[in-house]
Amino acid sequence: VEPISLGLALAGGVLTGYISYPRLYCLFAECCSPKRSLSREALQKDLDSKLFGQHLAKKVILNALSGFISNPKPKKPLTLSLHGWTGTGKNFVSKIIAENIYEGGLNSDYVHLFVATLHFPHISNITLYKARDQLQSWIRGNVSACARSIFIFDEMDKMHAGLIDAIKPYLDYYDNLDGVSYQKAIFIFLSNAGAERITDVALDFWRSGKQREEIKLKDMEHALSVSAFNNKNSGFWHSSLIDRNLIDYFVPFLPLEYKHLKMCIRVEMQSRGYEVDEDIVSRVAEEMTFFPKEERVFSDKGCKTVFTKLDYYYDD
Ligand SMILES: Nc1ncnc2c1ncn2[C@@H]1O[C@H](COP(=O)(O)OP(=O)(O)OP(=O)(O)O)[C@@H](O)[C@H]1O
């Protein structure tokens, strides 16, 4: 089923149920409550125990989310832009955020994932108008059903400029648009834009013998401001969202090192019900490729493919 029509159908169903029998309904199904809260401690615990090597992302996400959710009257929706190398945890952290707000996490009726290259792979001038319209009514329908809706836009750097333009009004400081208020919604944008610059900073720290944890947000400011968006793919994104200050937080994801891969492998072993075997952990981690070529500091694919490599050792 096409996600946009599915979203709208669900939105309608939820709305009816919610209005007709609010209390009873919420006993049996997940509910969208305007007072939807978030436990800062639980989120912190989750981030600390599950997300490896991302001290900057942890800090920004924790503060941004807990501040936003505890604000009864936000002036605009929360917009987080997550940047970094492949396999460093951007999708993973979006899942953690969703789970901390809605029990169903990514499967919740109030959490919506949009992947431009999947949902609208080929857009011509003729189909753009229709796609824009669909995207806008999808957002409107879902926020009408639940003010605290979460939208995750993956592969933002590959998204058609016309579609980015279409979501802009919803990210802005409007009390309402056509009777719907978007101020409690959460938009999370994921991309690899800026990954090279983030990596350069991390590599500089490594080369000068400093701890990765010493990297401060301000060290990343430049990486995430000008150069990150100075490539032709994300140029429009830059001018339309960033110049207009529609993004509240830029969240850098650092490239992962050998020791982080080992942490990912251990977690996967445990989740498959195996005892952690340090010999296998090291062998799987060593099979990964690292860059730069001479120093071999960062994993090419982050933690992304370690799991399939693990299959080889448990294929009985
Ligand atoms: N920093 C991390 N800490 C713990 N696990 C991680 C981390 N990064 C990645 N992983 C693991 O690797 C998997 C793949 O990572 P994820 O999909 O989040 O990468 P991504 O940054 O979104 O990559 P891409 O840019 O290619 O979409 C996750 O589901 C998670 O299991």
How confident is the model at residue 314, as a pLDDT?
A: 79
CA of 296 relative to ligand 1 center, distance in Å: 20
Burial 165-191 (b: 16+ CB within 10 A, else e): ebbeebbeebeeeeeeebbbbbbbbbb
168 token code pair? 């802009």
- CA triplet 92, 98, 99: central angle to 5 degrees? 90
List the single range of 2-16, 55-69, 292-306 with lowest mean pLDDT: 2-16
Is residue 94 left, alpha or beta, with left meaning phi > 0 and alpha meaning psi from -120 to 50?
alpha
Tell whether ligand 1 has an atom less than 6 A from the beta carbon of residue 91: yes
Q: Which helix (H) or strand (E) holds 186?
A: strand 186-191
Name the residue of 83, 159, 264, 267 to mutate for ligand 1: max ligand atoms within 8 A of Cβ.
Answer: 264
Q: Give the pLDDT of residue 80.
A: 96
- DSSP code string of 139-156: HHHHHHH-TT-EEEEESG
Among 189, 209, 210, 212, CA closest to 199: 212
Any atom of ligand 1 within 6 Å of the Cβ of 90: yes
Higher pLDDT, 311 or 269: 269
Q: Quote the pLDDT of residue 18.
A: 44
What is the whole-number distance in angstroms between the Cα of residue 64 and the centre of ligand 1? 21
If one compares 97 and 116, the residue with the highest pLDDT of the two is: 97
Ligand 1 atom with minimal separation from the 268 CA: 31
pLDDT value at 307 more than 60 = yes
Q: What is the DSSP letter of 254?
A: P
- pLDDT of 200: 93
- Looking at every residue in the chain, the average pLDDT score rounds to 86
**So what's the pLDDT on residue 11?**
43
Per-residue confidence band for 131, with pLDDT thresholds at 50, 70 and 90: confident
Task: Write out the two tokens for 13.
Answer: 């169903």
pLDDT at 265 over 50: yes
| Mean pLDDT value of segment 20-46 | 75
DSSP 85-102: STTSSHHHHHHHHHHHH-
Annotated domain spans of the chain: 3-253, 258-313
Of 33-42, 173-182, 214-223, 295-304, the one with minimum mean pLDDT is 33-42
Mean pLDDT for the stretch of residues 103-128: 84
Which helix (H) or strand (E) segment holds residue 188: the answer is strand 186-191
Residue 87: other Cβ atoms inside 10 A? 22
| The CATH number of domain 3-253, selected from 3.40.50.720, 3.40.50.11540, 3.40.50.300, 3.90.1580.10 | 3.40.50.300
Instruction: Say if CB 305 and CB 312 are below 8 A apart.
Output: no
Is the ipTM of this structure higher than 0.90?
A: yes
Residue 85 beta carbon below 6 angstroms from any ligand 1 atom: no
At residue 10, the pLDDT reads 41
